[in-house]
Amino acid sequence: MKILALIPARYSSTRFPGKPLALIHGKPMIQRVYEQCSKVFENCYVATDDQRIFDKCQQINANVVMTSTLHKSGTDRCREALDTIGGQWDVVINIQGDEPFIATEQLEQIAGLFNDPKTDIATLVKPFTAQEDIENPNSPKVVLGANYQALYFSRSVIPYLRGVDKTNWQAEHKFLKHIGLYGYRANVLRQITELEQSPLEITESLEQLRWLENGYCIKTATTLLETHAIDTPEDLQNILQLFPSFFGHS
């Protein structure tokens, strides 16, 4: 199975401009992500829309392709990168450019889901801990079928526990949150990026609902590892304190 790992990286983040170039123990964030991915995948590329990120990737000898500034999602950017790079690929893995602490185990889980020929798209889920707020709309929830295929994603709490006091919900049920790491069969990536936005996608502002509405099978694997996306400069400072020696300062 030929796998292409892509790391979409935008410069113009509203909450953290220039985020991919922010330093983490002396190396740009995008370099940290690239090095983690390269431990698992032989073919890794950064897909950016900014010359500064492009130049930095070339400087550190990371594969990089320039993409349009008009893309609305990382999925769309991955589609353009796939076409630009060319070649024959079975699977494309989409790794968030703001998760320098992504675990190699999680990347291997995503790739492994494609051993099932029924898998069109792959992603990860994680049980909410008792301390986490299941009602946080910025942490999408997911419910699964018997074969770990996603049935629905929502910013609301799903499922609804009828007859159970809301204060006891997390004690009574294992709620699952969606981890934004994706894999797609290459032909499926081309197909889903040609689809019009769907009603549920627009309602919840979750692109994966477009794929479900159009009949694609999204298979999941469960991770117990925490992910640490960096959305703001404050997030970065907190992460650096939490992981003072994650990379051994290498």
Residue 246: pLDDT over 70: no
Taking CA atoms, 57 is separated from 10, 31, 241, in Å, by 13, 7, 26
- Element (DSSP H or E) covering residue 111: helix 104-112
Percent of the chain, pLDDT > 90?
83
Q: What is the pLDDT of residue 250?
A: 45
Summarised one tens digit per residue, pLDDT across range 142-186 is 999 999 999 999 999 999 999 999 999 999 999 999 998 999 999
Choice between 244 and 212, residue whose per-residue pLDDT is larger? 212
pLDDT tens-digit readout, 184-193? 999 999 999 9
- CB of 145 closer than 8 Å to CB of 214: no
Report helix angle 51-59 to 29-38, nearest 10. 50
Mean per-residue pLDDT of the chain:
94
pTM score of the predicted model: 0.93
What is the distance in angstroms between the CA of the first residue and the CA of the last residue of the chain?
31
pLDDT of residue 249: 46
* pLDDT-derived band at 247, boundaries 50, 70, 90: low
Q: By 3-state DSSP, what share of the chain in percent is helix, strand and coil, each rounded to 5?
A: 35, 20, 45
Entry field: residues in the chain: 250
Provide the pLDDT for residue 101: 86
Q: Mind listing the pLDDT tens digit for each residue in 212-230?
A: 999 999 999 999 998 787 8
pLDDT in tens, 57-93: 999 999 999 999 999 999 999 999 999 999 999 999 9
Q: How many helices (H) and strands (E) does the chain have?
A: 9, 11
Structural domains of the chain, ranges and CATH numbers in brackets: 3-234 (3.90.550.10)
